[in-house]
Amino acid sequence: MTTMISPGSGVRSWKDRLLGRPASAAEERRDVVRLHDVTKTYPNGRTALRDVELAIPEGDFVFLVGPSGAGKSTLIKLLIRDELPTHGRVLVDGIDVARLPRREVPKLRRRIGVVFQDFKLLPRKTVRENVAFALEVTGTPARRIRPAVDRVLALVGLTDQADQLPSQLSGGEQQRAAIARALVHEPRLIIADEPTGNLDPLIAWEIIQLLLRINELGVTVLMATHNAEVVTALRRRVVALDEGRIVRDEPRGAYHHDD
């Protein structure tokens, strides 16, 4: 449709990015996610996030940790604009989500791939159809769907299972199908909310490996998790939330037991 988002200073427009126009050197490592002074209070009076400052540069791999109710889910909801901040600014890919007109929200979501603990696959569709669904419902021409789906299925290693239903797959395979669906729009950011929560440790590691590989391809990854073993072993950036505040943000962090 029309150009809608007035980009913040120094940020390339959507159109430039969609057309693949090159970024200037100064913009090369910019923040994919930036939260400035964000507070979120729900209508029932519960404050889920307080004064949160967070910047995630492009290409980062970030673990988001913290006890249940610390505000991890709220943070994710703010990023995909399922909720709006009560106070402060949430920028995703340079776009202020609160100022985004409602009809532009779908375009924002196409730039973000979301993966959940419970996979959220459609049970009556095959793996291929589940992945293709994400493109169909955004009006992608049929001739471009097939190659794009094949490409992401190969990336997550599900080419052979493409025509099976989710119920015929193992948990790990279902999560890989969900990751394929999240990737099919070629997002700049993957948000994974407890992606290994339902998986046994060995399979969990496979999913982490897959997310790391996707990160190596240049996609920023934000992963909320309780998996101490994984967090500690990988020594990646760790952002810890507690009672709605960021209590720790370490470039090579570990999982602490009070997280």
Partner 1 sequence: MLRFLAFSLRRAWQGFWRNALMSLAATATMVLMLLLLAGFWILQAGLLAGLQFVEQKVEVVADLRDDAPPAEVDALRRRLLAEPVVRSVDYVSKDEALARFRERLAAQGEQDLTRYLDTNPLRASLEVKLADPRAAGTITDELRREPIVESVTDIENLVDRVLTVTNILRTAGAVVLIVVGIIVLFIVVNTIRLAVLARADEIEIMRLVGASDAFIRWPFVFEGTLVGLLGAVATLGLLGLAAEPIGRFLFDFFRVLPLEVGSLARDVTLLVLGAGLGLGALGSWISVRTYLIR
Q: Which residues bind partner 1 (CB under 8 A)?
A: 80, 82, 103, 106-110, 114, 120, 122, 124, 133-134, 136-139, 141-142, 181, 185
Decide whether 19 or 142 has the Cβ nearer to partner 1.
142
Give the closest residue to 61 by CA, choosing from 250, 211, 246. 211
Rounded Cα distance, 241 and 99, in Å: 26
Q: Mention every residue, 6+ apart, whose C-beta is less than 8 A from residue 165.
A: 123, 124, 125, 126, 127
Decide whether 30 or 125 has the Cβ nearer to partner 1.
125
Instruction: Give the shortest CB-132-to-partner 1 separation in angstroms.
Output: 11
Q: Are the C-beta atoms of 84 and 98 separated by less than 8 Å? A: yes
Helix/strand/coil for 97: helix
Q: Are the C-beta atoms of 147 and 200 separated by less than 8 Å? A: no
Instruction: Give the shortest CB-120-to-partner 1 separation in angstroms.
Output: 6
Decide whether 22 or 101 has the Cβ nearer to partner 1.
101
Decide whether 131 or 240 has the Cβ nearer to partner 1.
131
Decide whether 120 or 213 has the Cβ nearer to partner 1.
120
Instruction: Give the shortest CB-129-to-partner 1 separation in angstroms.
Output: 11
Helix or strand holding residue 106 (H, E): helix 105-110
Backbone CA torsion sign across 119, 125, 126, 131: negative
Instruction: Give the shortest CB-231-to-partner 1 separation in angstroms.
Output: 25
Instruction: Give the shortest CB-179-to-partner 1 separation in angstroms.
Output: 13
Instruction: Give the shortest CB-10-to-partner 1 separation in angstroms.
Output: 25
Decide whether 117 or 232 has the Cβ nearer to partner 1.
117
Strands laid side by side in the 87-92 sheet: 47-57, 31-41, 87-92, 95-96
